Chain A
Amino acid sequence: MSEPGWRVRSGRPADGDLLASFTCADAAVGWQVEVEQFIRSQLINWTFDPHAQSGDPRLLLAFVTATNELFGVAAHERVTLQGGDGARFNATKLELLAIVTPWQGRRFRTGERASDVLMSTVMTDISARVPPRDARVFALVHEDNERSIALCRRHGLVDEMSRPHPDYRRLVTLHKPRATDRARS
């Protein structure tokens, strides 16, 4: 079996220099610039913040095997979602997922989209965490970011919660009503 066209590893504190030149934004689009700036200047601190380790923050870097080019970055961590009456739900927040500009919309020779490889990396990593993560995964996506909305949908983030801000949608993995609820309705 041939080697896949990509290679993925966890991030390290020393990756700061690599991320400092990460380019994924159109300079005219504010929400894209915000992603890029966060990756360049804050992502390493976010990942390795000693006060945040209880959330098991994870940084994942994806490279093109043939060229060793960094083509994507993703990060996630465990969070607790909270309702007004004290209800709490464990979940994973997809902190970010970004593909470098030259690889946006591209596929590997074997047909896989670069974005699907990166999102699959995130889902694989979440599935493998110890202690196990809850199957609830959510992402905040700018409402104009149609590519990311489509990507989330392909990977099962098809339900939608309330918006934390008018510009941002909060997509979450599919939830089916429990059997007791179905019986009641």
Chain B
Amino acid sequence: MTIAAWPVVDRHRVVHAYKPGEPSAAEGPFRTLRGHAWASSGVRVTRRAGGHLVGQLTVFSSLNVESARLARHGNLDAAVRVARAAATLEAGPEFTRLQRILSDLPGHDAERVVEGVMPEAAPAALAGALKAVARRTERLRAGESILATLAEVIAGRIAEVHEGYVVLVRVTGPATMVPRWMAVAAQRDKVGELLALVMDKLDNASAVVEAVPAIDVDEDAVERAFTPFGRGDVRVRDLTRADERLLAGEPQPLRILVPVLING
């Protein structure tokens, strides 16, 4: 099992990483991040009900949290690189698939997913899509060595729940006690659930500690399997934004090199 932080976030999480302790709904900090290319634009999810538009939300790759943190620490070039990686991820097939699944969820389920909650009636494909985004996120993170030293992450499974704390057990390594209210805020306060603690250093004696939902990114057999044949695999028909731009062009007439007569 490989446990990683939840791969998608809302704008508040990005702003919080940039200006911890300040109101995360403020427009200014996010404008600053975008203005310096320290954050990507995110992906807009349109929610419909009965054929009508009922709302929109913007979903960001969690890499934006890292780029915002880098910007706060003054690593501005790295912030730009990581934000660019976030934009690449958001334009890729994994994110596109997730975007479409979120668009089809009823009510406010899409917002809940971004917060780390899997709705009870969620399609099976949602978990796979989130894992695919999380795996891609981890690969991109691995390519940016500075992220390994920027914040310490303790990710694991909740093994015990007590009145005031939960016990978080890593896949390998010691257990950690986490205040229960933090686990509740991260939507992870039950035995077996996956949680990550992110310790973001402020100075030599202090840090911002954040509890965030986590996900097991290992592929299951179904995710690994891919066949180009048949009608069962939606990946065959999924388009990215780049694909859409390509297909919006004018398809050229079919090319027939050899005259052929087809009988029956």
With an 8 Å Cβ cutoff, the count of chain B residues facing the other chain is 48
B-facing residues in A135-154 (Cβ within 8 Å): 135-137, 140, 142, 154
| B241 partner, pick from A81, A83, A119, A156, beta carbons under 8 A | A83
With an 8 Å Cβ cutoff, the count of chain A residues facing the other chain is 65
How many angstroms between the C-alpha atoms of A175 and B239 in the bound complex? 15
How many angstroms between the C-alpha atoms of A85 and B99 in the bound complex? 7
Pick from B97, B244, B247 the residue with the most CB of A within 10 Å: B247
Q: In angstroms, how far is the closest chain A Cβ from the Cβ of B163? A: 43
Question: A-facing mask of B223-264, CB < 8 A → 1, else 0?
Answer: 000111111010111111111101111111111111111111
How many angstroms between the C-alpha atoms of A126 and B259 in the bound complex? 14
B247–A85 CB distance below 8 A: no
How many angstroms between the C-alpha atoms of A105 and B84 in the bound complex? 45
B46–A82 CB distance below 8 A: no
A162–B247 CB distance below 8 A: no
How many angstroms between the C-alpha atoms of A18 and B112 in the bound complex? 53
B243–A46 CB distance below 8 A: no
Given contacts A83-B96, A159-B246, contact A164 B238 (CB under 8 A): yes
Given contacts A96-B229, A159-B246, A181-B249, contact A8 B239 (CB under 8 A): no
Q: In angstroms, how far is the closest chain B Cβ from the Cβ of A62? A: 8
Q: In angstroms, how far is the closest chain B Cβ from the Cβ of A138? A: 9
Q: Is the interface of A mostly helix, strand, loop or mixed?
A: mixed
A175–B93 CB distance below 8 A: no
Q: With a CB–CB cut-off of 8 A, which chain B residues contact A156?
A: 252, 254-255
How many angstroms between the C-alpha atoms of A138 and B128 in the bound complex? 25
B249–A112 CB distance below 8 A: no
How many angstroms between the C-alpha atoms of A134 and B250 in the bound complex? 11
Q: In angstroms, how far is the closest chain B Cβ from the Cβ of A156? A: 4
How many angstroms between the C-alpha atoms of A38 and B228 in the bound complex? 10
B236–A140 CB distance below 8 A: yes
Q: With a CB–CB cut-off of 8 A, which chain A residues contact B241?
A: 83-85
A34–B93 CB distance below 8 A: no
B239–A162 CB distance below 8 A: yes
B252–A60 CB distance below 8 A: no
A29 at the interface (CB under 8 A from B): no
A-facing residues in B177-212 (Cβ within 8 Å): none
How many angstroms between the C-alpha atoms of A83 and B253 in the bound complex? 23
A42 at the interface (CB under 8 A from B): yes
Closest residue on chain A to residue B226 by CB atoms: A165
A120–B258 CB distance below 8 A: yes
B137 at the interface (CB under 8 A from A): no
Question: B-facing mask of A34-48, CB < 8 A → 1, else 0?
Answer: 110010001000100
Q: With a CB–CB cut-off of 8 A, which chain A residues contact B161?
A: none
Q: In angstroms, how far is the closest chain A Cβ from the Cβ of B105? A: 13
Question: What are 25 of the A-B contact pairs (CB < 8 Å)?
Answer: A8-B261, A9-B262, A9-B264, A46-B230, A82-B239, A83-B239, A84-B43, A84-B97, A85-B44, A85-B99, A85-B241, A95-B229, A117-B260, A120-B256, A121-B260, A123-B254, A127-B254, A127-B256, A163-B93, A164-B235, A165-B226, A167-B226, A177-B249, A178-B250, A181-B248
Residues of A within 8 A of B (CB): 6-10, 12, 34-35, 38, 42, 46, 52, 55, 60, 79-87, 89, 91, 93, 95-96, 112, 116-117, 119-121, 123-128, 134-137, 140, 142, 154-156, 159, 161-165, 167-168, 172-178, 181
Given contacts A96-B229, A116-B258, 16 further A-B contacts (CB under 8 A): A7-B263, A34-B227, A83-B238, A83-B244, A84-B96, A84-B100, A84-B239, A89-B239, A95-B229, A127-B256, A135-B252, A135-B253, A162-B92, A164-B236, A167-B226, A175-B249
Residues of B within 8 A of A (CB): 43-44, 46, 92-93, 95-100, 103, 226-231, 233, 235-244, 246-264
